[in-house]
Every structure is written in structure tokens, then in C-alpha cells.
A = this chain, B = another copy of it.
Amino acid sequence: MSGFGFEVLARSRRARLGRLATTHGSVRTPAFMPVGTQATVKAVTPQELRQAGAEIVLSNTYHLSLRPGHDLIRELGGLHRFMGWDGPLLTDSGGFQVFSLAELRRIEEQGVRFRSHLDGSEHLLTPEKSMEIQAALGSDIVMAFDECPPAGATREEVAGAVERTTRWALRSREAYTGPGTLFVQGGVHRDLRERCAAELVREGFPGYAIGGVSVGEPQPAMLETVRHAAELLPAERPRYLMGVGTPLDLVESVACGVDMFDCVMPTRNARNGSLFTSLGRVNIKRAEYARDERALDPACSCETCTRYSRAYLRHLFQAREILGARLNTIHNLTYFLGLMQALREAIESDSFAAFRDAFVDAQRGEEEEDAP
């Protein structure tokens, strides 16, 4: 756990301003982590990530272990060097990916058997194997291997998954010998989450993730879960809400005391032409933008907004040009990371409540405008 630390620097209501220290530098929280699934955040360079405001990147154990292989990355000096990102890296455990992507998955106490979505080859992912992969990658923040029950799972199934996740967290800690630090994640149902959190907190991990949310439930239900989960976790440890979410989700979760987020939304939506701006969402393929000379977001200072028009972005999207994916990604990341910066400033000046109210109002106004 060399070099790891977390400090809460300020509070505004339940929202926390903090600093996460790793051997590859520190991260200001609340932090958003762009997702670099295959050792690249799709369409952008590490320099562009820095420019957009990224301080930490997430990458995926499942994908990298299958291609190009974690042994290869270790031989080449680790993931930081391989992808040219010298800042902090967090890797997921592979659990969620195995459950959502792989074929023929079968859960055993030992781990999960699955077939690769790339070539159908059979693999066994265990807590020990997940730790070996994440250590080979040289990750700064390593996630304990978890079982991720599907959205429609019964209470009994979730209970089984929670217990197994707890056992697997301890096996993960036992097995991990890499240079990074280990986070754990918990389950869904209120009482089960309480039991899970109590056990994991008693065991004392460096950081805690809230998993099993944002799997299709309505936003109020998700926020209720997040609020409850955050209360169960120790105040002096970072809280990481996995796979979340929309800008509004981020603001509301920061309000619950969450410190870290990751989501493919800014990058995936960018490639689909769905752009986040200070004036609301822009679906760049719409005909109304064909002759629109304005910057995508007049309040944004990213390369995309300072150099190109909405008309050009629409043309690139319609013509399926790679440059369109690039420029859209740069903008969406700048928007998400700029929102985190604004949240940090609001907490520092103890004006978070006002910021949140204004943001929620603006989002509501936008939704009403979008309505038919």
C-alpha cells in the first residue's frame, strides 16, 4: 500500500473535498475517472486527458487480461508506461465485466468460469487471479474481486453474492502483492448492504466502493441506496460509486458524500453524438445544427468549442469521420471534468447547497424543454 493516502480537506453539508495520494501523484476529490477500457480512453491521448482535467484514469482487468494480456503489459513495464499515462490508474476487478460481457459464465466458490467474448477461450477468474492481473498491470488502486448479481436477482441470490463478495474481498487482500492499494465494494439490498459494509469496515480496507447501483433502477431509488451506503462507510476513507453516471447523478451523489466516480457516459455518448453543454444536451446529428456556426458550448474553452462550429461537428458525425469522435470526446470529458472542478470549488467555499440547487433547477428546466 505504498504511497497511498486520503485526506478530507473540507466539507459542505455532506459533500467532501479531499485529496487522494498515490505513487503516481495525487487526485483531487470529488474525482471523475475517464474509462480507458483497452489501455486507451477511446479516441483521445493522455495529453488530451490531462488538458481536459483528468487526474486519474480507470482501466479494465477483464479486457486487458484477454488482450494484449497482463503478462505482456508487465514485461513492457506496466500499464502506465504501455499507454503513456503517468498519472494514477485504477483498475476494476473484472467481476462486473465477466458478468456483463463474457459467455457461459459459471460462479463457483473458487471464482467465475467464463468464455472470452473475443475468441470463446475458457478462463477462470478468481480473487487471486484478479489480484495477479492487477498487480501485473501495476495499478495504483486495485479493486477486490466481487460477484455482481444481475439487476433482477432474488433476495436470496443477492444474499449469496454479498457473502461471497465478502469472502472474496478477504481472499483478494490475502493474495494481493502489487504496489497499489485495495478497495472493496458492496451489495444492493438495504439490510444486506449494511451487513456487507459492517464486515468490510470491520476488516479495514483503504477505500470502499459502492457497487450494484446504476443498473436500471430509477434515479431516486439509486440515490437512496447511495445515501444509505455512504453513511455506512468510515468518514476517513474514500468512497467510490462505480459506473455512475449522468451529470445530475454526480452532483447528487457528491451531495451524499461520494468522492470518486467512473463512467463511460462522456466518451460513449460522444461517439454517438450526444454532447453535454452548459446549455443542455445537444444531439449533434439533428438537422437544426447543419448551419449552426456557433461553438458547441459557448461557455467551454476546450479545443472543440474554441476551434470548430456545431455545423462542422454535425458534418463530421454524419460523415462518420474519426475526427468527430475525437472532438466530441474531448468536449464531453472537458464538461464532466469541469463539473467536478466546479463541485470542488463549491465545497471549498462552502456553497455546495446553492450550487446543487442551481444545477438541479437547470437540469429540470432542460428536461421540460426536451419534453414533447
Contacts and interface: CB of A to CB of B under 8 A. Distances in A.
A32 interface: no
Nearest to A38: B319
A72 B290 CA distance: 8
Contact of A325 (B77, B293, B322): B322
Given A68-B315, A291-B75, A42 B309 contact: no
A116 interface: no
B318 A67 contact: yes
Contact of A40 (B43, B72, B293, B323): B323
Interface string A31-72: 000000011101111000000000000000000000110001
A42 B311 contact: no
Interface string A294-332: 000000000100011101101110110111011000000
Judged by DSSP, the binding face of A is: loop
A110 B44 CA distance: 47
B323 A76 contact: no
A114 to B, nearest CB: 19
A40 B67 CA distance: 31
A266 to B, nearest CB: 15
Contacts of A325: 322
Given A291-B72, A309-B76, A311-B72, A42 B321 contact: yes
Given A84-B308, A311-B76, A312-B82, A318 B42 contact: no
Given A40-B316, A291-B76, A316-B40, A68 B323 contact: no
B40 A321 contact: yes
Nearest to A82: B312
A291 B312 CA distance: 40
Contacts of A326: 43, 45, 322, 326
Interface of A: 38-40, 42-45, 67-68, 72, 75-77, 82-84, 290-291, 293, 303, 307-309, 311-312, 314-316, 318-319, 321-323, 325-326
Given A76-B293, A76-B311, A322-B325, 14 more contacts: A38-B316, A38-B321, A39-B312, A39-B315, A39-B316, A42-B321, A42-B323, A44-B323, A67-B315, A68-B311, A75-B291, A82-B311, A84-B308, A84-B312
